[in-house]
Amino acid sequence: MPAEGPPLRCPAVLIAAPASGHGKTSVTAAIARYHSRKGLRVRCFKTGPDFIDPGILAKASGHPVYNLDSWIMGAEHCRQLLFEAAGESDLILVEGVMGLFDGTPSSADLAELFGLPILPVIDAQAMAQTFAALLHGLATFRDGLTLAGAVANRVGSSRHRELLRAALPEQIPLATLPRCPQASLPGRHLGLQLAQEIDDLDQRLDLLADAIGDTFLADRPTAVEFSGFDAPSPLEPLLRNQTIAVAKDRAFCFLYEANIDCLRQLGARIEFFSPLADGKLPLADAVYLPGGYPELHAGQLSCNDSLRGEIRAHVRDGKPLLAECGGLLYLSEALEDTEGVYHPMLGVLPAVARMGKKLAAIGSQQLILDDAIIRGHTFHYSSLQTPLPASYQAQTQEGSTGEAVYRSGSVLASYVHWYFPSNPPLAADWLSSAGSAHD
């Protein structure tokens, strides 16, 4: 392990809430856009496994957004990401996940681990003085947390603002943000819509940023000290001279920025392609089909006969293909949408995927192969009917049975979204034209 370098200091804050839906993403994006418009270098992170919010925060800040999860990624990896960001940024914003204390690890765990002050966002539209009680609970429920202030979101009037301010101790900074339907971020069952689906996203972000201009959020928070390694050891180039074709469009958009970084650090050349729009598969040694929304674009995917044929030919030639969640659905014979309509898919696996209206699985998981462990998470509304037996079985954080992992020839597929940096050699093995050493 490389030697630990001298610490770096950078203004930073973790934006939290009592629960989902209070406006964490909107407030984080507002702060990011406001300060980036002033010419500051703003780096955003998202707590937990999430692909949707990072896209909006990347648009707001102008920089790629990485996730922070001490179980999936490991505390040291998270620490190094923050350290590197501190060395090149004027402001670090970390958006929490769910409620402040929800989950294992929680946003509070992350704040304590890295000394990040918390900035609770509370939807105040249906309360007045109770706002102060709720904030008091968030700030004092657990020792070790530092309060940077608070945000009262969706405030209805100047009188409402006065009531909220009067109920709080004077020393607690309070930003009150008005209801603004024109600036709200549209959502769907999995959360917010994708950044690329919101045509007027820039205008919405600017409206959000304008709203914080006369609040304490216009000032940078207190600097936090971050420690890390001077120079992490480079990865062995196990994918040197390998080209990996990565699906990336509106149907396949659940892609960790860190996964692409990891593949490049392993020596791979990345070629992105669109299963929605492209008729040809890039000349590649391996194909990576991440998750996304194939169910929203099933008709268009099923009509792209040219690309479907090329991917099937890639598999027939025995070349590696790794599929996650939405990619797994794409490999099936057909995808049945919520209206009961069947859409032909690739037919690479003997399976039929059916979309449901209720959440089928959620949570962090890991796969243990001999002495190798790779981690990730699952979150899906669909189910898979297949006679194909599981080649491996992932497990939950608690050790119970998780998602099936299917191996069929050169194809490896599962509902799990893998985090490649949790085990780069295994990820390389799965995508290597030399074959899988763990089979």
d(CA 277, CA 280): 9
Say whether 325 is catalytic: yes
Alpha helices (H) in 167-265, listed in sequence order: 201-211, 257-265
String of DSSP letters for 190-209: TEEPPGGG-TTHHHHHHHHH
Letter for the amino acid at 170?
Answer: E
Give every CB contact of residue 133 below 8 A, 6+ residues apart in sequence.
none
d(CA 10, CA 89): 7
- Contact by Cβ (8 Å): 100, 106: yes
d(CA 1, CA 78): 15
- Which position among 44, 78, 253, 325 bears the catalytic label? 325
**Pairing relation of β-strands 91-95 and 174-178?**
unpaired
> Which class for 351: exposed (0-12), middle (13-18), buried (19 or more C-beta within 10 A)?
buried
> Which class for 74: exposed (0-12), middle (13-18), buried (19 or more C-beta within 10 A)?
middle
Taking CA atoms, 225 is separated from 44, 222, 228, in Å, by 17, 10, 10
Instruction: Report the catalytic residues.
Output: 325
